[in-house]
Structure 1
Amino acid sequence: MVATIATLCCNSFRSRSMLAMTSPVAWDSAPSRARHNRLGSPNTEFSQTGERIMPARFELHGFAFSGPTYKVALTLSLMGEPFDYVHVNMMEGEHKQPPHLSRQRYGQVPLLVDRNNGRHLCQSAAILEYVADMTGRFGGANLDERLQAREWMYWDFDRLAAPLYKARVVKLGFRKAPAEVVEDCLAAARSALGVLESHLAGREWLVGEGATVADIDIYGVVAFAGEAGIDLAEYPQVSAWAKRIEALPGFKARADLLPMESREAA
């Protein structure tokens, strides 16, 4: 079971889905815009006493130690979108039980439910593209930037996330592997971090003049480098870039976004 958990923790970030690049959803009234500015989401209603009377638009199902779940939670937090969180107890195999499989066909995490339209979304990269399209945030300023952001997300899947996550789950004790396998993973992760280091020289962000879902997606891997046994001090450009993400309004660390129990949006 531990191996299954580790495999899912490593692999649930995978996404080759290509979402259509739709126009962002517009809010068509001043009251809804004001409500979004105050509370983060135009779809969350509150009473005069501040109590929530309608559910948050998004419901995120995940596991507290899942890097891909953190990517989605962080994206929503940076967007100012409150979300209900459903803890999937992977230690007890809940991700392989019919209630979860009926919504997440791969038996993995994360799963995002959009209550506005009933969509059930799987695979973290596809989810990030979707919420960027729906909210009009972090998707890139134009088509070229959106394409470049997508390219970086697929590069992350192929080159950085897999080896770094695998080394991490071994270091955390979720999985056992021979020392040489871990060293191979670390070597591959360091090579990918070197590519990132070179690209960020003279840049603040991966694409364009502002943060995009590509930055958030890759940060959701880089943030766990220390747990994998990699010192980010060896990559000053990457470290500076990570600090810029951590300075964005709405940023929260994994432990603050992903508890070990279900939680309604604040």
Structure 2
Amino acid sequence: MARFTLHGMWPSGPTYKVGLMLRLTNTPHDYEHVDLRAGAHKADAFLAKNRYGQVPVLDDHEKDICLSQSSVILDYLADETGQFGGKDRSERLRAREWQFWAAGPLTTGIYRTRAVKLGFFKFPEEVQAANLQSALGALKELDGLLTGRGWLVGGGATIADLDIYGIAAYAGQAQIDLQAFGNVRKWMGRVEDLAGFKGPQDCLPQASVKAP
């Protein structure tokens, strides 16, 4: 058994963030598919791992630690792998600032708009419109903050980039055109050029898989 097990579902953006981190750090791990549509996330065994009944969940069998919430998992993996954590404490804290920022309108705007477009949820029209405007406003802010910057923090990719990429990557499925956000598109291209990168459609398996 691998040291780590990632529990998730392949259409899940938060699960993708963790899967991408594991791939980019070349970290062997088992993958356990959690069938949300069948209610697997509400089963007692899963709730014992994650009180919130959400994916992703990461088990570290070596240290007997089980974590939920993708941003926390990324932070933990940065410590355990020594990668994407920034060059010092200041950069790590700046990365965490970005992660907290992203948990607001960017996440709710893009993920909820995507969920409606894919038929997962249905909101009143005024709520759908508000979600879209939240996404566009956050993308505009991100685009401005990326002016003159290659990465969100310091001179290289950090967990902030992986976290926020794992939101922005779903803009297409939300039918949000990124053409007006040139800095965002260039930054996304830099993430996609990282060795080992795979996009949302290819990073996660659609069934449980054991590490080689």
Q: TM-score range by the shorter chain?
A: over 0.9
Match of 1:208 among 139, 154, 172: 154
For 1:115, which of 61, 70, 74 is the aligned residue?
A: 61
Contact residue 86 and residue 154 of structure 2 kept, 8 A: yes
After superposition, the CA RMSD in angstroms is: 1.0
2:170 aligned residue (224, 235, 239): 224
| AA aligned opposite 2:84 | F
Larger relative contact order, structure 1 or 2 (CA cutoff 8 Å, min sep 6): 2
Q: For 1:22-76, what per-residue CA distance to the aligned partner results, in whole angstroms no more than 9, with x for missing partners?
A: xxxxxxxxxxxxxxxxxxxxxxxxxxxxxxxxx3221000011110000000011
Q: Which residue pairs with 2:9 in the alignment?
A: 63
- What TM-score does the superposition give when structure 2 sets the normalisation length? 0.97
> In structure 2, what residue type is equivalent to 1:206?
L
Shift of 1:164: 1.1
Determine the C-alpha separation between the residues in 1 that align with 2:98 and 2:109: 16
Distance 1:195 1:141 in 2: 25
Give a deviation string over 1:163-221, Cα, whole Å, max 9, x none.
Answer: 21111100000011122211111111111111110111111000000000000000000
State the alpha-carbon separation in 1 of the partners of residues 163 and 44 from structure 2. 29
- Paired amino acid for 2:144: S
Q: Distance in 1 between matches of 2:184 and 2:113?
A: 19
Q: How far apart, CA to CA, are the structure 2 residues paired with 1:136 and 1:58? A: 16
Q: Does 1:242 align with 2:202?
A: no
2:44 matched residue in structure 1: 98
State the alpha-carbon separation in 1 of the partners of residues 177 and 210 from structure 2. 35
Structure 2 Cα separation of the partners of residues 166 and 159 of structure 1: 10
Following TM superposition, where does structure 1 have runs of at least 4 consecutive aligned residues deviating by more than 2 angstroms? none
Q: Distance in 2 between matches of 1:120 and 1:180?
A: 39
Alpha-carbon distance between aligned partners in 1 of 2:160 and 2:105, rounded to the nearest angstrom: 14
Q: Determine which structure has more spread, i.e. the larger CA radius of gyration.
A: 1
Structure 1, residues 94-128: CA drift from partner, whole Å, max 9, x if none? 00001111111211110000121111011000000
Structure 1 residue ranges without an equivalent (≥5): 1-54
Which amino acid is 1:181 matched to?
Answer: V
* 2:87 equivalent in structure 1: 141
2:99 aligned partner = 153
Superposition map of 1:119-198 within 5 A: 119-198=65-144
Query: Partner amino acid for 1:179?
Result: E
Cα drift, residue 254 of structure 1: 1.9
Which residue in 1 is equivalent to 2:202?
256
TM, length-normalised to structure 1: 0.78
Any idea what SS the aligned residue of 1:60 has? strand
Residue 159 (structure 1) shift? 2.5
- Find the aligned partners of 1:173 and 1:153 in 2 and give their Cα distance: 27
Per-residue CA shift, 1:130-189, capped at 9, x if unaligned?
A: 000111110011111111100000000022101211111000000111222111111111
The residue type equivalent to 2:91 in the other structure is E
Count of matched residue pairs: 212
Q: Does 2:17 match 1:77?
A: no
* Residue ranges of structure 2 left out of the alignment (5+ in a row): none
CA distance in 2 between counterparts of 1:81 and 1:173 reads 34
